[in-house]
Structure 1
């Protein structure tokens, strides 16, 4: 490596760094965020919970996400969270754990659904203070399904019903959708070929009250910046009153 190729720094990239960037990101010089106040968290692929998924699956591991959310809450330099979703769903309890942590953050949060925010991705998407969905993104609402062996006794179905109630209550309490509308979408039998439920796309999700607005990345960042500025202004005003 020729140091003259990097005249602006005394520490040229380590040998092999460019190759690693090409392999991982498709570029030798990936851009970095200019606003350190915003932390971007991605929920992609399948939300992995207590069972490790096959290596060929694209997954979001909840044990990786939760420490990030704790760091966002504790780090004073971070003022807001941008949550980007493109997920098919996954483990119910892991998804609800992520959603509960996002909703309990004291800092402003904005979510953006790109591609899809299906199944347990729905409560994660609505857990933010304000939610966006792109025009072509979709969200599938359906009842909870169990995999593996299920003991056919009343207790099993009662447990499944209680799990479903947890999801329903969370979505209804963190969005503008009516509970009866959400249940109708969830139990619709005429749309999905091999399942019951409904897929809503872009503006339909907004019309149902599930998501706040149709928008893209620029809209999400502008909204989050406005929420952060409003929070900083309120904190300054309260500090002035105390003094």
Structure 2
């Protein structure tokens, strides 16, 4: 009762050890700069050791990535996406609520991606934070970074490069800005996400990927 009064939560029932690890990416992805304490953030320096530990732990056979993020630091987001994509263990992502901006590459970095029916993904060009010096080289740097994002997304999903650029540079979709807000089934239609589904469907898909990979692992051991 005291936990309910003080923390608003009860004890989580004890469950058997799972062969799946759940990685949460919630709020804003925090990179090299520390955000104000009132911001809900996911720190990339916390996620990277977790991903390494998941890859090394023999008891963990699959990774489930839950995304509800507004985006954040581009380089930190790409680093997380690259690490997830390079894992040997099966992985499934699910966008719940939103997977915006640099959350898009993270969403497509897994072996299979899902999105809730009402979830959204905002696709837009890379923006300045005000900390980059405004010289011609700055534009070249941002252009190259944007190409990195485009190449990663198009190589890890079924969306065509021209279509993704069209969504990124669309005018009138976002008020006083350029970009596109993609909802649930539309993300699947564009080839950005593999399937519309929830947590139950994502877990079933991940388990099927684990079962498919077991014979291959047994051959390697033999």
The normalised TM-score by structure 1 is 0.87
CA distance in 2, matches of 1:33, 1:107: 23
Which structure is larger by alpha-carbon Rg, 1 or 2? 1
Change in Cα spacing, 1:34 to 1:213, as seen in structure 2 (3 Å) is farther
Alpha-carbon displacement from aligned partner over 1:7-32 (angstroms, at most 9, x marks no partner): xxxxxxxxxxx7457655x4322135
**Paired residue for 2:23?**
41
CA distance in 2, matches of 1:184, 1:197: 8
**Paired residue for 2:79?**
97
Q: Is residue 233 from structure 1 mapped to residue 215 from structure 2 by the alignment?
A: yes
Q: Is residue 53 from structure 1 mapped to residue 53 from structure 2 by the alignment?
A: no
| Contact 1:118-1:141 at 8 Å conserved across structures | yes
| 5+ residue gaps, structure 1 | 1-17
| 5+ residue gaps, structure 2 | none
Relative contact order (C-alpha < 8 Å, sep 6+): which is higher?
A: 2
Q: How does 1:25-174 map to 2 (within 5 A)?
A: 26-174=8-156
**Paired residue for 1:188?**
170
Deviation at 1:69, TM superposition (A): 0.2
CA distance in 2, matches of 1:194, 1:20: 46
CA distance in 2, matches of 1:22, 1:218: 31
The normalised TM-score by structure 2 is 0.95
**Paired residue for 1:208?**
190
Structure 1 residue matching 2:84: 3-state secondary structure: helix
Deviation at 1:53, TM superposition (A): 0.1
Deviation at 1:83, TM superposition (A): 0.1
| Contact 2:23-2:65 at 8 Å conserved across structures | yes
Number of aligned residue pairs: 222
| Contact 2:3-2:9 at 8 Å conserved across structures | no
**Paired residue for 1:224?**
206
Structure 2 residue matching 1:28: 3-state secondary structure: coil
